[in-house]
Structure 1
Amino acid sequence: MKGLFKPKPRTPMELVLQTRDLLIFLDQNTETRERKRVEKMSELSKQILEIRIVLFGNGQAEPNPDACAQLAQEFFKHDTFRLLVACLPKLDLGARQNATHVIANLQRQRVGGRLIASEYLENNLDLMDILLPGYEDGDIALTYGAISRECIRHQIVARYVLGSEYMKKCFTYIQIPNFDIASDAQATFKELLTRHKSTVAEFLSANYDWLHNQTTCCQAIGRHAT
């Protein structure tokens, strides 16, 4: 008889809370038996895929705006966003790709007319201190790079990065020998300098000489390399 009844769909709140529990397990239980860890990882991959379907639809039906808004609200309220970012290196490739799509979508979700990702990131700017150094890790560089660009869509984040030590490190990242990573870092650098004109103008006014010198050095290195 069980086969006659489909399981009741989980609410956005249930999805987020269950995902959060799995992320906490993955983050904190480093010495768990391998079999149990694999089981939890499989559950988490399914949860992330289900969240992606809520946000993007399933190919047959469009996403429900109310469900998307509720999911986004729960995601940021319970700090699941931070947990997901921290656990990305531990996910398999498929789950990591789905998680990246989820994070990108959440940046655009509005709740009551408010862009809640922007409000969340304003109070959690240190997340960029996790994302941007990802360029130094070849396994996670492209994933963290893509997420960094999504976060930079918010002016408060762009202003923080432009004023941080990572802005100076961008010139190191775009010279990384790995072409894909260097190109990704260059895309992030371009996003920083083109997305928010007023913030960029302030940065250039205060740092024009430094930026000019760095650009000149990079061009010289490029000519020498060729």
Structure 2
Amino acid sequence: MGVFAKKKRTPAELAVKLLNSLNSLGGGGGGEKDQEAIAKYLGEMRAIMFGETDAPPDPATQSTLASEVAKSDLLGVLIASLPSLHFETRKDAAAVFNGLMRVEPEDAPCPFVEYLERRPELLRTMTTASELAGAEADGQGGGGGDASAALTLGTMLREAVRHERLCAAVLRDAKFEKMFEYMQLPTFEIASDAAASFREILTRHKGAVATFLAEHFDGFFGKFNAMLENGNYVTRRQSLKLLSELLLDRANVGSMMRYIGSVENMCLMMNLLRDEAKSIQFEAFHVFKVFVANPNKPPAVLSILLKNREKMIGYLANFQNDREDEQFVEEKAMLMRLMEQLPQPETNYCVRVPESPTKSSSP
């Protein structure tokens, strides 16, 4: 058997052959023949990265493959070619990419972090992958797009931003704000995948995120609030959960104080407390409580709370009493006590809140 066993290609041979086949496919060369070759080489690379049924992966061979891939522009060509590959081949391509992103040679960082930093257009391709589904950034669904390519690139983006430097690079790119639009696309799978990437980017690396929020506070939260007001049910629910997590993270304390110091933001939460969907009400509750618990409320915020105090306490007394959640019951009771104990402002502070009659009414 051993005499006739097919000799395995070395990592160097695989890298060269895959690059040549990808370039041939992109240049309109062999067509299906190239597709078959690419599938074969990626399958062999996947076996190196993750092992086979009867053979676990060898770290030395993994490192050699990573080194060979890093020597050329193979990773960039692979990302750019992904939409042209067959479905199963894309899955192997994503697996190989994700495996390579986790290879860290001894006493050295992953070589592909620096590579992707030098090639921001590749990160941008992954960030804007939702547009491959035929749904352009104007939010209109379209036909003929490739949802599977978009979803595959989404998994690759989430793998890339596990590295803080790449996460920071994605946050700095102007295209990042497009994710607000992608999360509201009509195709559920694409919108959900964009939301998963959005959450991963904003929760993985606290330092990079805190810096981003501080530097882009107005633009980011302006779009975030608009999504809470106008998004679909799933988007609003997920976004409220994320907002609560961001505000309660100690790393974001500066941005939290700015957010809960705004009358407009608080009134948005008061309105969401009255949403027809109970799950939206529940998530809004967890954000609203941060406004009430703030010991240093700006006069404008305190004035609105005092104006609505009796109505709010009455509303909270009957708020989701059927929910069997001990922590929620305790937090609701605490919130009602805090509302009862609100101090009177030192001066008669008058607040004019235009275009939102609900701001002085019961939630």
- TM-score scaled to structure 2, two decimals? 0.58
The answer to which structure, 1 or 2, has the higher relative contact order (CA under 8 A, 6+ apart) is: 1
Aligned counterpart for 2:101 among listed residues 100, 107, 122: 107
Aligned counterpart for 1:186 among listed residues 178, 187, 195: 195
Cα deviation digits, residues 118-149 of structure 1 (max 9, x gap)? 12222222211222222111112111111111
- Richer in helix (by share): 1
Stretch of structure 1 that moved more, 201-210 or 117-126: 117-126
The one-letter code of the counterpart of 1:215 is F
Distance 1:207 1:121, change over 3 A: same
| Corresponding residue of 1:123 | 118
* Superposition CA RMSD, Å: 2.0
Cα deviation digits, residues 139-176 of structure 1 (max 9, x gap)? 12111111111111122221121122122111001001
| 1:176 partner SS | coil
**Could you tell me how far 1:210 is from its partner in structure 2?**
2.3
| 1:67 partner SS | helix
Query: 1:73, 1:111 within 8 Å by CA — same for their partners in 2?
Result: no
| Corresponding residue of 1:9 | 8
Stretch of structure 1 that moved more, 2-11 or 171-180: 2-11
**Could you tell me how far 1:81 is from its partner in structure 2?**
0.3
**Could you tell me how far 1:222 is from its partner in structure 2?**
2.8
Stretch of structure 1 that moved more, 63-72 or 142-151: 142-151
The one-letter code of the counterpart of 2:101 is Q
- TM-score scaled to structure 1, two decimals? 0.91
Distance 1:3 1:211 in 2: 61
Distance 2:231 2:171 in 1: 24
Distance 1:55 1:124 in 2: 24
Aligned counterpart for 1:37 among listed residues 31, 35, 38: 31
Distance 1:4 1:69, change over 3 A: closer
Q: Which structure 1 residue ranges, 4+ long, deviate > 3 Å from structure 2?
A: 223-226
Distance 1:19 1:212 in 2: 44
Query: 1:48, 1:98 within 8 Å by CA — same for their partners in 2?
Result: yes
* Paired-residue identity, %: 34
| 2:216 partner SS | helix
2:60 is aligned with 1:61: no
Structure ID, larger Rg: 2
| 2:31 partner SS | helix
**Could you tell me how far 1:212 is from its partner in structure 2?**
2.0
| Corresponding residue of 2:205 | 196
Distance 1:137 1:124 in 2: 20
- For structure 2, the residue ranges without an aligned partner over 5 or more in a row are 134-145, 237-276, 278-363
Distance 2:56 2:200 in 1: 30
**Could you tell me how far 1:192 is from its partner in structure 2?**
1.1
2:245 is aligned with 1:217: no
